[in-house]
Amino acid sequence: EAQVTQNPRYLITVTGKKLTVTCSQNMNHEYMSWYRQDPGLGLRQIYYSMNVEVTDKGDVPEGYKVSRKEKRNFPLILESPSPNQTSLYFCASSLSLATSGTYEQYFGPGTRLTVT
């Protein structure tokens, strides 16, 4: 089954304790992206990756890191989490958005992160 998986689905942590949220897709998609969703603000893009070893900042990258060493994986790293990073996080993938292609994005189930 074609899917995007995220782990963990729920995480409660404390300020400053480094964490990684994993994202994996099995569709051989070039493009992957991380979003955060906060009440009243919709989905905002954190980082995206056009392909292996190619990443770039989205609209709200502060406090986050990403890496793309393999095509299928795109982990989101919070080096020193703070309470304002408490949010619902979604990973998404699609065929390349580098061109004017009209490829739909497939979203993961979400990771609900609470930083105390």
Partner 1 sequence: DAKTTQPPSMDCAEGRAANLPCNHSTISGNEYVYWYRQIHSQGPQYIIHGLKNNETNEMASLIITEDRKSSTLILPHATLRDTAVYYCIVRGRTTSGTYKYIFGTGTRLKVLA
Binding site for partner 1 (CB under 8 A): 4, 33, 35, 37, 40-45, 48, 50, 56, 58, 88, 90, 92, 97-98, 100, 102, 104-110, 112
Distance CA 18, CA 77 (A): 8
Least distance in Å: CB of 77 to partner 1? 20
User: Which C-beta is closer to partner 1: that of 25 or that of 85?
Assistant: 25
Residue whose token pair is 């942590």? 13
User: Which C-beta is closer to partner 1: that of 19 or that of 43?
Assistant: 43
Least distance in Å: CB of 31 to partner 1? 9
Least distance in Å: CB of 83 to partner 1? 20
**Of 102, 106, 89, which Cα lies nearest the Cα of 28?**
106
User: Which C-beta is closer to partner 1: that of 75 or that of 108?
Assistant: 108
Both tokens of 12, joined, read 């409660």
Cα 10 to the chain's mean position, in Å? 14
Indicate the DSSP class of residue 84.
Answer: G
User: Which C-beta is closer to partner 1: that of 9 or that of 18?
Assistant: 9
Contact 1, 106 (CB under 8 A): no
